[in-house]
Amino acid sequence: MTIRLEPREDAGLGLKIGVSLAAGLVALLLVAIPVLFAGGSPLTAYGLMIQGAFGSMFAFSETLNRATPLILTGLACAVAFRAKLWNIGAEGQLYIGALAAVCIGSGLLQLPPALMIPTVMIAGFLAGGLMMVIPTVIKQRFGADEVVITLLLNFVVILFIQMLVEGPLKDPLSMGWPQSVPLLAEAKLPKLLPRLRMHWGLIVGLVAALVLWLMVRKTVLGFEIRAVGENKAAARFAGIPVDATMLKVALISGGLAGLAGVGEVAGVKGYLSSDLSPGFGYSGIVVAMLAGLSPIGTVIAALFVAAVFVGADSMSRATGISSYIADLVVALSLLCVLVGSFFLRFRVKWDRQSVVA
Protein backbone atom coordinates (compact mmCIF):
# COMPACT_ATOMS: atom_id res chain seq x y z
CA MET A 1 0.00 0.00 0.00
CA THR A 2 1.39 3.36 -0.99
CA ILE A 3 0.37 6.97 -0.72
CA ARG A 4 0.13 9.12 -3.80
CA LEU A 5 -0.66 12.71 -4.50
CA GLU A 6 -2.84 13.94 -7.30
CA PRO A 7 -3.71 17.52 -8.22
CA ARG A 8 -7.17 18.33 -6.98
CA GLU A 9 -9.71 19.97 -9.29
CA ASP A 10 -11.34 22.21 -6.73
CA ALA A 11 -11.45 22.10 -2.97
CA GLY A 12 -14.91 22.57 -1.49
CA LEU A 13 -15.70 25.18 1.12
CA GLY A 14 -16.05 22.53 3.82
CA LEU A 15 -12.59 21.24 3.16
CA LYS A 16 -11.09 24.72 3.22
CA ILE A 17 -12.67 25.45 6.60
CA GLY A 18 -11.70 22.02 7.88
CA VAL A 19 -8.06 22.53 6.93
CA SER A 20 -7.94 25.89 8.73
CA LEU A 21 -9.52 24.44 11.86
CA ALA A 22 -7.21 21.46 11.82
CA ALA A 23 -4.23 23.77 11.41
CA GLY A 24 -5.22 25.69 14.53
CA LEU A 25 -5.65 22.49 16.51
CA VAL A 26 -2.34 21.03 15.41
CA ALA A 27 -0.62 24.28 16.36
CA LEU A 28 -2.14 24.09 19.83
CA LEU A 29 -0.98 20.50 20.17
CA LEU A 30 2.54 21.40 19.12
CA VAL A 31 2.73 24.30 21.52
CA ALA A 32 1.89 21.90 24.33
CA ILE A 33 5.52 20.74 24.10
CA PRO A 34 7.19 24.02 25.11
CA VAL A 35 4.49 24.50 27.73
CA LEU A 36 5.52 21.17 29.24
CA PHE A 37 9.14 22.26 29.14
CA ALA A 38 8.23 25.47 30.92
CA GLY A 39 6.90 23.27 33.69
CA GLY A 40 3.22 23.89 33.10
CA SER A 41 0.40 21.55 32.26
CA PRO A 42 -0.84 22.21 28.73
CA LEU A 43 -4.43 21.47 29.68
CA THR A 44 -4.41 23.99 32.51
CA ALA A 45 -2.57 26.49 30.40
CA TYR A 46 -5.04 26.21 27.54
CA GLY A 47 -7.93 26.20 29.99
CA LEU A 48 -6.65 29.44 31.46
CA MET A 49 -6.13 30.87 27.99
CA ILE A 50 -9.69 30.10 26.97
CA GLN A 51 -10.93 31.55 30.19
CA GLY A 52 -8.76 34.61 29.75
CA ALA A 53 -10.10 35.15 26.26
CA PHE A 54 -13.75 34.23 26.63
CA GLY A 55 -14.34 33.54 30.34
CA SER A 56 -16.15 36.71 31.25
CA MET A 57 -17.87 39.60 29.60
CA PHE A 58 -14.77 41.62 30.31
CA ALA A 59 -12.45 39.00 28.88
CA PHE A 60 -14.55 38.61 25.76
CA SER A 61 -14.73 42.34 25.21
CA GLU A 62 -10.94 42.57 25.50
CA THR A 63 -10.65 39.88 22.84
CA LEU A 64 -13.03 41.76 20.57
CA ASN A 65 -11.13 44.95 21.25
CA ARG A 66 -7.91 43.26 20.25
CA ALA A 67 -9.55 41.73 17.18
CA THR A 68 -10.80 45.07 15.86
CA PRO A 69 -7.52 46.35 14.32
CA LEU A 70 -6.63 42.80 13.27
CA ILE A 71 -9.82 42.48 11.24
CA LEU A 72 -8.98 45.66 9.38
CA THR A 73 -5.29 44.96 8.78
CA GLY A 74 -6.21 41.36 7.90
CA LEU A 75 -8.66 42.62 5.28
CA ALA A 76 -6.04 45.07 4.04
CA CYS A 77 -3.64 42.20 3.36
CA ALA A 78 -6.31 39.83 2.06
CA VAL A 79 -7.58 42.20 -0.61
CA ALA A 80 -4.08 43.11 -1.75
CA PHE A 81 -2.76 39.54 -1.78
CA ARG A 82 -5.73 38.46 -3.88
CA ALA A 83 -4.55 40.84 -6.58
CA LYS A 84 -0.96 39.62 -6.03
CA LEU A 85 -0.03 43.03 -4.67
CA TRP A 86 2.25 42.23 -1.78
CA ASN A 87 1.45 44.83 0.81
CA ILE A 88 3.73 44.22 3.79
CA GLY A 89 3.26 47.80 4.91
CA ALA A 90 -0.01 47.66 6.83
CA GLU A 91 1.88 48.64 9.97
CA GLY A 92 3.06 51.91 8.46
CA GLN A 93 -0.32 52.58 6.84
CA LEU A 94 -1.97 52.04 10.22
CA TYR A 95 0.25 54.71 11.78
CA ILE A 96 -0.32 57.15 8.93
CA GLY A 97 -4.08 56.62 9.27
CA ALA A 98 -3.79 57.32 13.00
CA LEU A 99 -1.69 60.41 12.27
CA ALA A 100 -4.32 61.75 9.87
CA ALA A 101 -6.99 61.22 12.53
CA VAL A 102 -4.97 63.17 15.08
CA CYS A 103 -4.13 65.99 12.67
CA ILE A 104 -7.78 66.52 11.80
CA GLY A 105 -9.43 65.53 15.04
CA SER A 106 -7.39 67.36 17.65
CA GLY A 107 -8.66 70.86 17.04
CA LEU A 108 -8.12 71.69 13.38
CA LEU A 109 -11.83 71.24 12.73
CA GLN A 110 -14.75 71.86 15.05
CA LEU A 111 -17.65 69.64 14.09
CA PRO A 112 -20.37 67.70 15.88
CA PRO A 113 -19.55 63.99 16.35
CA ALA A 114 -21.94 62.90 13.58
CA LEU A 115 -19.75 64.76 11.09
CA MET A 116 -16.43 64.64 12.90
CA ILE A 117 -16.19 60.86 13.17
CA PRO A 118 -16.82 60.20 9.46
CA THR A 119 -14.41 63.00 8.53
CA VAL A 120 -11.67 61.53 10.69
CA MET A 121 -12.30 58.06 9.28
CA ILE A 122 -12.23 59.22 5.67
CA ALA A 123 -9.02 61.13 6.34
CA GLY A 124 -7.44 58.05 7.90
CA PHE A 125 -8.61 55.87 5.04
CA LEU A 126 -7.23 58.21 2.40
CA ALA A 127 -3.94 58.73 4.20
CA GLY A 128 -3.40 54.99 4.65
CA GLY A 129 -4.48 54.40 1.07
CA LEU A 130 -2.01 56.96 -0.22
CA MET A 131 0.75 55.16 1.67
CA MET A 132 0.01 52.09 -0.43
CA VAL A 133 -0.75 53.89 -3.69
CA ILE A 134 2.71 55.47 -3.74
CA PRO A 135 4.67 52.20 -3.63
CA THR A 136 2.28 50.78 -6.23
CA VAL A 137 2.92 53.67 -8.58
CA ILE A 138 6.66 53.25 -8.06
CA LYS A 139 6.28 49.57 -8.86
CA GLN A 140 4.36 50.33 -12.03
CA ARG A 141 6.66 53.11 -13.20
CA PHE A 142 10.06 51.77 -12.24
CA GLY A 143 9.49 48.10 -11.59
CA ALA A 144 10.61 48.36 -7.97
CA ASP A 145 9.47 45.52 -5.77
CA GLU A 146 6.59 46.54 -3.54
CA VAL A 147 7.53 44.03 -0.84
CA VAL A 148 10.76 45.86 -0.20
CA ILE A 149 9.28 49.34 -0.45
CA THR A 150 6.29 48.72 1.81
CA LEU A 151 8.36 46.83 4.36
CA LEU A 152 10.99 49.55 4.60
CA LEU A 153 8.39 52.29 4.67
CA ASN A 154 7.12 50.82 7.95
CA PHE A 155 10.35 51.84 9.64
CA VAL A 156 10.40 55.23 7.99
CA VAL A 157 6.86 55.90 9.15
CA ILE A 158 7.48 54.82 12.73
CA LEU A 159 10.55 57.02 12.99
CA PHE A 160 8.58 59.88 11.50
CA ILE A 161 5.82 59.38 14.07
CA GLN A 162 8.43 59.29 16.84
CA MET A 163 9.79 62.58 15.63
CA LEU A 164 6.33 64.12 15.53
CA VAL A 165 5.29 63.01 19.00
CA GLU A 166 8.59 64.21 20.43
CA GLY A 167 8.32 67.50 18.55
CA PRO A 168 5.63 69.37 16.66
CA LEU A 169 2.70 67.21 17.76
CA LYS A 170 3.85 66.70 21.34
CA ASP A 171 1.22 67.22 23.98
CA PRO A 172 2.45 69.98 26.32
CA LEU A 173 0.37 68.49 29.11
CA SER A 174 1.81 64.98 28.81
CA MET A 175 4.48 65.59 31.44
CA GLY A 176 7.25 64.69 29.05
CA TRP A 177 5.76 61.48 27.67
CA PRO A 178 6.25 61.19 23.90
CA GLN A 179 2.62 61.36 22.92
CA SER A 180 0.56 63.64 20.72
CA VAL A 181 -2.08 66.14 21.66
CA PRO A 182 -5.31 64.25 22.40
CA LEU A 183 -8.29 63.95 20.09
CA LEU A 184 -11.30 66.13 20.78
CA ALA A 185 -14.16 64.30 22.44
CA GLU A 186 -16.22 64.78 19.26
CA ALA A 187 -13.71 62.77 17.27
CA LYS A 188 -13.67 59.76 19.58
CA LEU A 189 -15.44 56.57 18.60
CA PRO A 190 -18.21 55.77 21.10
CA LYS A 191 -17.89 52.64 23.23
CA LEU A 192 -20.18 49.78 22.36
CA LEU A 193 -21.00 48.98 26.00
CA PRO A 194 -20.46 51.00 29.14
CA ARG A 195 -17.29 50.30 31.15
CA LEU A 196 -15.81 48.09 28.41
CA ARG A 197 -13.11 49.13 25.97
CA MET A 198 -14.85 47.74 22.87
CA HIS A 199 -15.71 50.54 20.48
CA TRP A 200 -17.47 51.24 17.22
CA GLY A 201 -14.32 50.36 15.27
CA LEU A 202 -15.45 46.75 15.60
CA ILE A 203 -18.63 47.52 13.69
CA VAL A 204 -16.57 49.31 11.06
CA GLY A 205 -14.40 46.20 10.71
CA LEU A 206 -17.37 43.88 10.39
CA VAL A 207 -19.05 46.10 7.83
CA ALA A 208 -15.80 46.34 5.90
CA ALA A 209 -15.56 42.54 5.81
CA LEU A 210 -19.12 42.29 4.54
CA VAL A 211 -18.57 44.95 1.90
CA LEU A 212 -15.38 43.27 0.68
CA TRP A 213 -17.11 39.93 0.54
CA LEU A 214 -19.86 41.43 -1.59
CA MET A 215 -17.32 43.25 -3.69
CA VAL A 216 -15.32 40.12 -4.50
CA ARG A 217 -18.35 38.04 -5.36
CA LYS A 218 -20.82 40.42 -6.88
CA THR A 219 -19.15 43.45 -8.37
CA VAL A 220 -17.31 44.19 -11.56
CA LEU A 221 -14.41 45.57 -9.54
CA GLY A 222 -14.13 42.30 -7.63
CA PHE A 223 -14.19 40.40 -10.93
CA GLU A 224 -11.42 42.57 -12.29
CA ILE A 225 -9.32 42.20 -9.17
CA ARG A 226 -9.60 38.42 -9.39
CA ALA A 227 -8.70 38.41 -13.08
CA VAL A 228 -5.70 40.68 -12.55
CA GLY A 229 -4.53 38.61 -9.61
CA GLU A 230 -4.89 35.26 -11.36
CA ASN A 231 -3.58 36.10 -14.82
CA LYS A 232 -2.36 39.59 -15.52
CA ALA A 233 -1.62 38.97 -19.20
CA ALA A 234 -5.08 37.61 -19.93
CA ALA A 235 -6.71 40.42 -17.97
CA ARG A 236 -4.77 42.99 -19.97
CA PHE A 237 -5.63 41.32 -23.24
CA ALA A 238 -9.31 41.27 -22.29
CA GLY A 239 -9.19 45.01 -21.74
CA ILE A 240 -9.16 45.17 -17.97
CA PRO A 241 -7.06 48.20 -17.04
CA VAL A 242 -4.47 46.34 -15.01
CA ASP A 243 -2.60 49.32 -13.57
CA ALA A 244 -5.76 51.19 -12.61
CA THR A 245 -7.20 48.09 -10.97
CA MET A 246 -4.00 47.64 -8.98
CA LEU A 247 -4.20 51.24 -7.82
CA LYS A 248 -7.77 50.74 -6.66
CA VAL A 249 -6.65 47.67 -4.74
CA ALA A 250 -3.79 49.64 -3.24
CA LEU A 251 -6.13 52.40 -2.12
CA ILE A 252 -8.56 49.96 -0.54
CA SER A 253 -5.81 47.94 1.10
CA GLY A 254 -3.88 50.87 2.53
CA GLY A 255 -7.14 52.57 3.45
CA LEU A 256 -8.33 49.61 5.53
CA ALA A 257 -5.02 49.56 7.39
CA GLY A 258 -5.38 53.31 7.89
CA LEU A 259 -8.84 52.73 9.39
CA ALA A 260 -7.29 50.32 11.86
CA GLY A 261 -5.07 53.16 12.98
CA VAL A 262 -8.04 55.51 13.30
CA GLY A 263 -9.78 52.91 15.44
CA GLU A 264 -6.82 52.61 17.78
CA VAL A 265 -6.41 56.37 18.37
CA ALA A 266 -10.06 57.35 18.24
CA GLY A 267 -11.46 54.25 19.90
CA VAL A 268 -8.87 53.17 22.45
CA LYS A 269 -5.95 55.47 23.20
CA GLY A 270 -7.23 58.95 22.42
CA TYR A 271 -3.79 60.15 21.32
CA LEU A 272 -0.99 59.08 19.02
CA SER A 273 2.23 57.55 20.26
CA SER A 274 4.88 55.41 18.64
CA ASP A 275 3.72 52.35 20.57
CA LEU A 276 0.17 52.57 19.29
CA SER A 277 0.38 49.20 17.58
CA PRO A 278 2.14 46.09 18.88
CA GLY A 279 2.56 44.91 15.29
CA PHE A 280 -1.09 44.79 14.18
CA GLY A 281 0.07 45.42 10.65
CA TYR A 282 2.31 42.36 10.59
CA SER A 283 -0.25 40.22 12.37
CA GLY A 284 -2.67 41.24 9.63
CA ILE A 285 -0.56 39.24 7.19
CA VAL A 286 -0.92 36.16 9.38
CA VAL A 287 -4.65 36.75 9.80
CA ALA A 288 -5.16 37.05 6.04
CA MET A 289 -3.20 33.87 5.36
CA LEU A 290 -5.01 31.95 8.08
CA ALA A 291 -8.26 33.07 6.48
CA GLY A 292 -7.20 31.88 3.04
CA LEU A 293 -7.70 35.51 1.93
CA SER A 294 -11.46 35.25 2.43
CA PRO A 295 -13.05 38.38 3.92
CA ILE A 296 -15.42 36.51 6.23
CA GLY A 297 -12.64 34.12 7.18
CA THR A 298 -10.55 37.14 8.10
CA VAL A 299 -13.02 38.07 10.83
CA ILE A 300 -12.80 34.59 12.31
CA ALA A 301 -9.03 34.41 12.00
CA ALA A 302 -8.68 37.83 13.63
CA LEU A 303 -10.81 36.63 16.54
CA PHE A 304 -8.66 33.55 16.87
CA VAL A 305 -5.39 35.46 16.88
CA ALA A 306 -6.78 38.07 19.28
CA ALA A 307 -8.07 35.36 21.62
CA VAL A 308 -4.68 33.67 21.64
CA PHE A 309 -2.93 36.90 22.59
CA VAL A 310 -5.44 38.04 25.19
CA GLY A 311 -5.76 34.53 26.62
CA ALA A 312 -2.00 34.04 26.78
CA ASP A 313 -1.56 37.31 28.67
CA SER A 314 -3.99 36.24 31.30
CA MET A 315 -2.63 32.68 31.41
CA SER A 316 0.86 34.05 31.86
CA ARG A 317 -0.21 36.20 34.78
CA ALA A 318 -1.75 33.18 36.48
CA THR A 319 0.94 30.56 35.80
CA GLY A 320 4.16 32.39 35.16
CA ILE A 321 4.57 30.76 31.75
CA SER A 322 5.75 33.42 29.34
CA SER A 323 3.10 35.02 27.16
CA TYR A 324 5.43 34.50 24.21
CA ILE A 325 3.51 31.26 23.96
CA ALA A 326 0.96 33.36 22.06
CA ASP A 327 3.48 34.20 19.35
CA LEU A 328 4.33 30.53 19.11
CA VAL A 329 0.70 29.50 18.68
CA VAL A 330 0.11 32.11 16.00
CA ALA A 331 3.32 31.36 14.12
CA LEU A 332 2.72 27.62 14.22
CA SER A 333 -0.88 28.01 13.05
CA LEU A 334 0.39 29.93 10.07
CA LEU A 335 2.88 27.19 9.27
CA CYS A 336 0.17 24.57 9.68
CA VAL A 337 -2.15 26.48 7.35
CA LEU A 338 0.59 26.66 4.76
CA VAL A 339 1.11 22.92 5.04
CA GLY A 340 -2.65 22.47 5.00
CA SER A 341 -3.01 24.46 1.79
CA PHE A 342 -1.04 21.63 0.23
CA PHE A 343 -3.99 19.33 0.92
CA LEU A 344 -6.25 21.81 -0.80
CA ARG A 345 -4.20 21.55 -3.94
CA PHE A 346 -3.51 17.84 -3.88
CA ARG A 347 -5.55 14.82 -3.15
CA VAL A 348 -3.90 12.06 -1.15
CA LYS A 349 -4.66 8.68 -2.61
CA TRP A 350 -4.22 5.51 -0.62
CA ASP A 351 -3.29 3.20 -3.34
CA ARG A 352 -4.34 -0.40 -3.00
CA GLN A 353 -3.25 -1.58 -6.43
CA SER A 354 -0.52 -4.12 -6.08
CA VAL A 355 2.46 -3.74 -8.33
CA VAL A 356 2.32 -6.42 -10.99
CA ALA A 357 5.65 -8.00 -11.62
Partner 1 sequence: MTDAPVLLSLQNITKRFGALTANDGISLDLHRGEILALLGENGAGKTTLMNILFGHYVQDEGDVRVLGDGGLTALPPGSPGAALKAGIGMVHQHFTLAENLSGLANIRLGTEPLLSFGREGAARAKVQKIIAESGLDVDLDRRVADLTVGEKQRIEILKALYRDAKVLILDEPTAVLTPQEADGLFVVLRRLAANGLGVIFISHKLGEVLAVSHRILVLRGGKKAGELVTADADRRAIADLMVGKAVAAVVRTPASPGDVLLALENVSLHGASGRSLSGVDLKLRAGEVVGLAGVSGNGQSGIAGLISGLAVPTSGTMRLYGETVTRADPRALVANGVARMPEDRQHDGVVGTMSVADNIAIEEVRSAAFSKMGFLDRKAMRERATAAIAGYDVRCQGPDAEARLLSGGNVQKLILARVLERGPRVILANQPTRGLDVGAQAEVHRRILAARDRGAAVLVISEDLDELFALADRFVVVHAGELHDAGPSEGLDRGTIGLMMAGQSHARAEMAS
> Where on the chain is the footprint of partner 1 (CB under 8 A)?
2, 4-7, 9-10, 218-221, 223-224, 226-227, 230-231, 233-241, 349, 351, 353, 355-357
Nearest to 324 by CA among 311, 312, 332, 314: 312
Minimum CB separation of residue 227 from partner 1 in Å reads 5
The rounded distance, in Å, linking the Cα atoms of 226 and 204 is 24
* Angle at the Cα of 320 from the Cα atoms of 24 and 43, rounded to 5 degrees: 40
Q: 110: helix, coil or strand? A: coil
Minimum CB separation of residue 78 from partner 1 in Å reads 17
Q: Give the residue with the Cβ less far from partner 1, 38 or 215.
A: 215
Dihedrals phi, psi of 249, to nearest 5 degrees: -60, -45
Q: Name the DSSP class of 200.
A: T
Torsion, Cα 192 216 142 150, to 10 degrees, reads: 30
Nearest to 258 by CA among 126, 15, 94: 94
Q: Give the residue with the Cβ less far from partner 1, 9 or 112.
A: 9
Minimum CB separation of residue 232 from partner 1 in Å reads 9
Minimum CB separation of residue 79 from partner 1 in Å reads 16
On the 0-12 / 13-18 / 19+ scale of CB atoms within 10 A, 80 is buried
Q: Give the residue with the Cβ less far from partner 1, 7 or 172.
A: 7
Minimum CB separation of residue 1 from partner 1 in Å reads 11
Q: Give the residue with the Cβ less far from partner 1, 30 or 221.
A: 221
Q: Give the residue with the Cβ less far from partner 1, 166 or 230.
A: 230
The rounded distance, in Å, linking the Cα atoms of 172 and 107 is 15
Q: Give the residue with the Cβ less far from partner 1, 2 or 110.
A: 2
Minimum CB separation of residue 344 from partner 1 in Å reads 13
Q: Give the residue with the Cβ less far from partner 1, 275 or 351.
A: 351
| Residue pair 132/89 in contact by the 8 Å Cβ criterion | yes
Minimum CB separation of residue 21 from partner 1 in Å reads 24
Q: Radius of gyration (Cα) for the chain, nearest Å?
A: 22
Minimum CB separation of residue 357 from partner 1 in Å reads 7
The rounded distance, in Å, linking the Cα atoms of 76 and 125 is 11
Q: Which helix (H) or strand (E) holds 131?
A: helix 113-142
The rounded distance, in Å, linking the Cα atoms of 323 and 317 is 8
Q: Which helix (H) or strand (E) holds 83?
A: none
* Angle at the Cα of 106 from the Cα atoms of 104 and 110, rounded to 5 degrees: 75
Minimum CB separation of residue 247 from partner 1 in Å reads 17
Q: Give the residue with the Cβ less far from partner 1, 60 or 223.
A: 223
Q: Give the residue with the Cβ less far from partner 1, 241 or 278.
A: 241
